[in-house]
């Protein structure tokens, strides 16, 4: 039996204050975006209940302007701002050395610059194209450039992590990379590879087209490039949450992570399978052969597997914690978990909601069932149970220790922090229940119901639940924002956690044998690229060169 090791315990690790400051400002950009985004979220949710509050928004000229602001702010800026702060910090902590200061600053500045450009385009109603940026809807060039810069900020964060990793490797040529560092780096390497197609689409087509350098664009190709990146983007949102569930949550629950190798395998499976699945967003698109869609359907069922494995692992770790605290019987350990800790409670609520997100994802992925729910409100029902709950609630939970850690101030009002997570959870469950049932009755997504020419009484109940749930979600996040702002401004100085809560594992990383291959990132990247070629090569070979057929339209 191997000894119980720590994931890593670099004694005395302390991040310089200047780096803490830039990291927290990077994350704050996301909180500001989230807070702006929830106003538009509230307006959308209420519109499904036939209540129109859009006309009270100063300067807002239409539903699609608000929906674009909501999608970009919450799904793109909030998520990546968090990851740009969190993942480099995890790498630094795991490898026991500081980051490259200049790169920490550059990540924050580029993220902010990208944001300002996107805000300008959206606020002036020159980019009401929704976060999917489908051509031939055309936005102002600042919108595309702004999104490119946001992606570049994630690359800078990754470069920082890789520099730290290389330096660590130079000093430890034969050692296994510490688990927390491994999974943080794999997460952003996956995202880097995944982000290349959208960079091609934006820099090669949409940006020059919006600048008038190209007269026409190829809607199917740019849409396909969007989803080439766009499915994997959901795992780029999810994996930082998984980093916390695997490497931090067990410690917070008083348990242990069950296996080092199991965890590494899960993240490598995400690296391999997150990207070659994008056509499951295009099952109904004409012009894509059915056989290619079928390959993507099979691979989608493949990428379902590492999340199933995660469910077993995180529940086992929680069970160890609950039993260590005196829990008995089949489920007695659940109530013994420290539900009064807002950081842990928010993340356990995230897990519980994600069970429904996973089930609804399986239905989306099934080619035939997808025909029933595609483009209905079922889909936003699904993604508010994933990015809108598993990810958001985890980010909230992490913030409850991370912001104190980065600011040197204690959490302001544990009770309010806990309440914000519960209010949000109850809200998102009611909201998603409404969206999902109305979607099954055919209620279309991305439609301003209040003003729609056609409605259906079968949507009334679901629409009402959507409005009620969305209102609760709004109050949950508003309360979260107050807790964070008050922590940063008025939290008790010195009452902060002094270290990242890194877990121990039941099994140590093996120093010999096949498990060492799990650390060979170059090899796994090569396999990932090969899988992408298999999944997208036939389509691109059949389809290219680009068919530049459509001029741009500004409809809203
Ligand atoms: Fe999805 C559409 C398939 C996961 C986000 N998805 C979307 C869209 C978004 C999105 C934003 O195949 C809409 C895009 C648009 O605007 O059009 N999705 C899946 C599948 C999964 C999945 C198979 N999605 C996610 C995640 C997202 C996300 C994660 C964001 C973070 N999705 C689809 C498909 C579509 C789609 C189609 C296209 C639909 C269409 O027609 O447009 C899977 O990866 C899900 C796996 C999840 C699980 C659950 C594991 C559970 C865990 C918790 C364990 C804890 C327990 C309790 C049990 C297998 C790990 C703990 C106990 C305690 C005591 C606390
Ligand atoms: Cu997807």
CA 474 to chain centre: 19
What distance in angstroms lies between residue 390's CA and the mean position of ligand 1's atoms? 9
Query: Is 325 a known active-site residue?
Result: no
The domain spanning residue 270 has which CATH number? 1.20.210.10
Is the pLDDT reported for residue 77 higher than 70? yes
DSSP string for residues in 451-480? G-S---GGGHHHHHHHHHHHHHHHHHHHHH
| Position 553 in a domain | no
Helices (H) and strands (E) counted in the chain, each on its own, are 19, 0
CA 548 to chain centre: 32
Check residue 401 and give its pLDDT: 98
Query: Which protein residue's CA is at the shortest distance from atom 20 of ligand 1?
Result: 361
Pocket flag, ligand 1, residue 372 (CB < 6 Å): no
Query: Is 172 a known active-site residue?
Result: no
Contact 277, 296 (CB under 8 A): yes
Q: Which residues pair with 409 in a beta bridge?
A: 493
Pocket flag, ligand 1, residue 446 (CB < 6 Å): no
Query: Is 384 a known active-site residue?
Result: yes
Check residue 452 and give its pLDDT: 84
Mean pLDDT, the chain, rounded, equals: 95
Residue among 191, 313, 350, 383 whose CB has most ligand 1 atoms within 8 A, to mutate: 383
Query: Is 382 a known active-site residue?
Result: yes
Check residue 1 and give its pLDDT: 37
Choice among 11-25, 80-94, 206-220, 292-306 with the minimum mean pLDDT: 11-25
- CA gap 351, 303 in Å, rounded: 18
Give the tokens for residue 53. 């509050």
Task: Kindly report, residue by residue over 181-216, the tens digit of the pLDDT.
Answer: 999 999 999 999 999 999 999 999 999 999 999 999
Check residue 309 and give its pLDDT: 97
CA distances from 301 to 226, 241, 296 (A): 21, 21, 9
Q: How far apart are the first and last CA of the chain?
A: 65
Name the phi and psi angles at 504, rounded to 5.
Answer: -95, 160
What is residue 177's DSSP assignment?
Answer: P
What atom in ligand 1 is closest to the CA of residue 364?
37
What atom in ligand 1 is closest to the CA of residue 237?
31
Mean pLDDT confidence for 29-41: 95
| Position 207 in a domain | yes
Pocket flag, ligand 1, residue 383 (CB < 6 Å): yes
Is the pLDDT reported for residue 5 higher than 90? no
Looking up tokens 């199917």 gives 220
| Position 346 in a domain | yes
Query: Which protein residue's CA is at the shortest distance from atom 46 of ligand 1?
Result: 358
Pocket flag, ligand 1, residue 379 (CB < 6 Å): yes
Query: Is 134 a known active-site residue?
Result: no
Q: 19-29 burial, b if ≥16 CB within 10 A, otherwise e?
A: bbbbbbbbbbb
Task: Give the CA diameter of the chain.
Answer: 69
Task: Kindly report, residue by residue over 382-415, the tens digit of the pLDDT.
Answer: 999 999 999 999 999 999 999 999 999 999 999 9
Check residue 509 and give its pLDDT: 85
Does residue 505 come out as left (phi exceeding 0), alpha (psi in the -120 to 50 range) or beta?
beta
Question: Taking ligand 2, which is a single-atom ion, which protein residues have CB atoms under 5 Å away?
Answer: 231
Mean pLDDT confidence for 45-69: 91
Looking up tokens 């990146």 gives 229
Pocket flag, ligand 1, residue 391 (CB < 6 Å): yes
Is the pLDDT reported for residue 2 higher than 80? no
| Position 3 in a domain | no
Check residue 454 and give its pLDDT: 86
Task: Kindly report, residue by residue over 412-457, the tens digit of the pLDDT.
Answer: 999 999 999 999 999 999 999 999 999 999 999 999 999 888 889 9
Domain count, the chain: 1
Query: Which protein residue's CA is at the shortest distance from atom 31 of ligand 1?
Result: 387
| Position 459 in a domain | yes
| Position 425 in a domain | yes
Pocket flag, ligand 1, residue 229 (CB < 6 Å): no
Q: Which of 20, 24, 70, 231 is catalytic?
A: 231
Is the pLDDT reported for residue 363 higher than 60? yes
Pocket flag, ligand 1, residue 315 (CB < 6 Å): yes
What distance in angstroms lies between residue 373's CA and the mean position of ligand 2's atoms? 14
Helix then strand then coil, in percent of the chain rounded to 5, is 70, 0, 25
Mean pLDDT confidence for 44-60: 90
What atom in ligand 1 is closest to the CA of residue 132?
16
**Full domain range(s) for residue 433:** 17-543
Pocket flag, ligand 1, residue 70 (CB < 6 Å): no
Is the pLDDT reported for residue 483 higher than 50? yes
Query: Which protein residue's CA is at the shortest distance from atom 40 of ligand 1?
Result: 374
3-state secondary structure 243-299: HHHHHCHHHHCCCCECCHHHHHHHHHHHHHHCCCCHHHHCCCCCCCCHHHHHHHHHH
| Position 554 in a domain | no
Looking at per-residue pLDDT, the higher value among 196 and 516 belongs to 196
Using CA atoms of 449, 454, 456, 457 in order, give the dihedral in degrees to the nearest 10.
70
Q: Which residues contact 515 (CB under 8 A, 6 or more apart)?
A: 260, 261, 264, 509
Task: Assign 468 a pLDDT band (cuts: 50, 70, 90).
Answer: very high
Query: Is 39 a known active-site residue?
Result: no
Check residue 543 and give its pLDDT: 96
Task: Assign 3 a pLDDT band (cuts: 50, 70, 90).
Answer: very low
- Residue of 145, 19, 150, 151 lying closest to 85 (CA atoms): 19
Check residue 62 and give its pLDDT: 87
Pocket flag, ligand 1, residue 304 (CB < 6 Å): yes
Of the chain, the percentage scoring pLDDT greater than 90 comes to: 92
Residue 87: which H helix or E strand, with range? helix 79-95
What atom in ligand 1 is closest to the CA of residue 391?
31
- Residue of 349, 374, 162, 213 lying closest to 284 (CA atoms): 374
Q: 125-156 burial, b if ≥16 CB within 10 A, otherwise e?
A: bbbbbbbebebbbbbbbbbbbbbbbbbbbbbb
- pTM of the predicted model, to two decimals? 0.96
Query: Is 374 a known active-site residue?
Result: no
Task: Assign 508 a pLDDT band (cuts: 50, 70, 90).
Answer: confident
Task: Kindly report, residue by residue over 9-28, the tens digit of the pLDDT.
Answer: 555 688 999 999 999 999 99
DSSP string for residues in 383-414? HHTTIIIIIHHHHHHHHHHHHHHHHTBPPS-H
| Position 6 in a domain | no
């Amino acid at each position: 039996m191997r000894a119980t090791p720590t994931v890593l315990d670099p004694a005395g690790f302390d991040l310089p204050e200047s780096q803490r400051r830039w990291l927290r400002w990077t994350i704050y950009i996301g909180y500001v975006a989230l807070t702006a985004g929830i106003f538009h979220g509230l307006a959308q949710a209420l519109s499904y209940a036939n209540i129109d509050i859009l006309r009270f928004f100063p300067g807002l000229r239409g539903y699609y302007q608000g929906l674009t602001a909501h999608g970009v702010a919450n799904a793109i800026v909030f998520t990546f701002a968090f990851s740009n702060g969190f993942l480099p910090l995890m790498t630094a902590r795991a490898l026991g050395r500081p980051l490259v200061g200049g790169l920490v600053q550059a990540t924050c500045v580029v993220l902010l610059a990208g944001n300002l450009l996107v805000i300008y385009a959206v606020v002036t109603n020159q980019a009401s194209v929704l976060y999917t940026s489908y051509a031939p809807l055309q936005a102002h060039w600042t919108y595309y450039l702004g999104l490119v810069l946001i992606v570049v900020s994630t690359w800078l964060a990754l470069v920082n992590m890789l520099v730290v990793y290389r330096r660590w490797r130079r000093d430890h040529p034969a050692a296994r990379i510490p688990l927390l560092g491994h999974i943080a780096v794999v997460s952003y390497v996956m995202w880097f590879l995944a982000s290349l197609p959208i960079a091609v689409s934006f820099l090669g087509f949409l940006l020059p087209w919006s600048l008038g350098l190209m007269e026409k664009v190829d809607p199917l190709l740019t849409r396909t490039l969007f989803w080439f990146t766009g499915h994997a983007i959901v795992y780029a949102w999810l994996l930082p949450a998984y980093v916390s569930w695997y490497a931090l949550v067990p410690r917070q629950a008083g348990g242990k992570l069950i296996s080092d190798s199991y965890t590494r395998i899960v993240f490598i499976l995400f690296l391999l399978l997150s990207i070659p699945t994008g056509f499951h967003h295009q099952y109904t698109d004409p012009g894509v052969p059915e056989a290619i869609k079928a390959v993507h359907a099979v691979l989608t069922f493949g990428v379902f597997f590492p999340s199933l494995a995660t469910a077993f692992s995180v529940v086992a770790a929680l069970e160890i914690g609950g039993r260590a605290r005196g829990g008995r019987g089949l489920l007695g350990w659940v109530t013994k978990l420290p539900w009064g800790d807002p950081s842990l409670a928010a993340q356990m609520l995230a897990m519980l909601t994600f069970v429904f997100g996973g089930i609804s994802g399986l239905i989306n992925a099934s080619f035939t069932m997808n025909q029933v729910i595609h483009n209905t409100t079922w889909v936003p029902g699904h993604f508010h149970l994933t990015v809108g709950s598993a990810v958001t609630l985890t980010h909230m939970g992490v913030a409850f220790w991370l912001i104190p850690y980065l600011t040197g101030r204690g959490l302001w009002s544990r009770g309010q922090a806990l309440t914000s997570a519960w209010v949000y959870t109850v809200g998102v469950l009611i909201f998603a229940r409404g969206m999902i049932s109305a979607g099954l009755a055919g209620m279309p997504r991305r439609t301003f119901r209040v003003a729609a020419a056609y409605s259906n009484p079968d949507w009334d109940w679901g629409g009402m639940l959507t409005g009620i749930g969305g209102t609760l979600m709004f109050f949950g996040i508003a309360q979260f924002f107050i807790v964070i702002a008050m922590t940063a401004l008025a939290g008790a100085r010195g009452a902060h956690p002094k270290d990242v809560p890194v877990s121990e594992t039941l099994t140590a990383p093996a120093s010999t044998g096949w498990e060492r291959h799990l650390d060979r990132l170059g090899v796994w990247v090569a396999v990932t690229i090969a899988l992408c070629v298999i999944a997208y090569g036939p389509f691109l070979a059949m389809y290219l060169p680009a068919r530049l057929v459509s001029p741009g339209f500004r409809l809203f």
